[in-house]
Amino acid sequence: MAVYNIKHIILESYPVLTACIIIALAAGSLLKSSIVEISEVPLILMMIPPINGMGGNIGSILGARLTSALHMGTLEPKLRGQRVLRGNLAATALISIAIYSLIGAAFIVIALSSGMPLASSLSLGLAFFIAGMALSTALMFITIASAFVSFKGGLDPDNMVIPIVTAVGDVLGVTCLLLAIKIVGV
């Protein structure tokens, strides 16, 4: 007996992957529309791959764990009374704090070594940390929603969650980064 049905995987994955192309184009469009702001602080370009990469990685880890728990029956698609969900969210929050702190500190060092003043370097690192935490928080909600909705709808969340999280995470990563930079005032 086959565990996976190739036709089923393709039929479920193709539409979501097609939608992800459109979402990814939105991230590129957002970057293009912000080119003037980005060109004022070129290090911002260097921040985009790590924020999007880490956001996608952290969201995908959470998504993989939730979809496995849904398949095994250790998690129900509801928010209340779910110890497995709470534990996974706590772990995701802690790893987000640790990784975005580390990368933010790295950007402070990079900014200082490229001749940026201390205050601006600290602001840049803080903006990255704020953007990363906002992104992680948003992706936790998106991950839960996509896992629960697809599972309740009879779709395999393994085919849905990670593509949705990574595509939406790219748009949100750029958005959070640009907003945090404006808020902090880099």
In the chain (186 residues long), the average pLDDT of successive 10-residue segments reads 74 89 86 84 90 95 95 91 94 97 97 95 96 97 95 90 93 94 89
Domain interval for residue 157: 6-184
Long-range contacts, 22-25 (Cβ 8 Å, 24+) = 23/167, 23/168, 23/170, 23/171, 24/167, 24/170, 24/171
- Give the model's pLDDT for residue 110: 96
Structural contact between residues 135 and 176, judged by C-beta atoms closer than 8 angstroms: yes
Structural domain includes residue 1: no
Q: In this structure, is residue 140 part of a structural domain?
A: yes
| Tally of domains within the chain | 1
- Is 54 contained in some domain? yes
Q: Is residue 98 part of a domain?
A: yes
What single-letter amino acid sits at 56?
Answer: G
Rg of the Cα trace of the chain? 18
Does a structural domain hold residue 78? yes
pTM: 0.90
What CATH number is given to the structural domain containing 48?
1.10.357.20
Q: Give the model's pLDDT for residue 24.
A: 85
Is 36 domain-assigned? yes
**Three-state DSSP class for residue 121:** helix
| Lookup result for tokens 């990469």 | 53
- According to the model, what pLDDT value does residue 1 have? 39
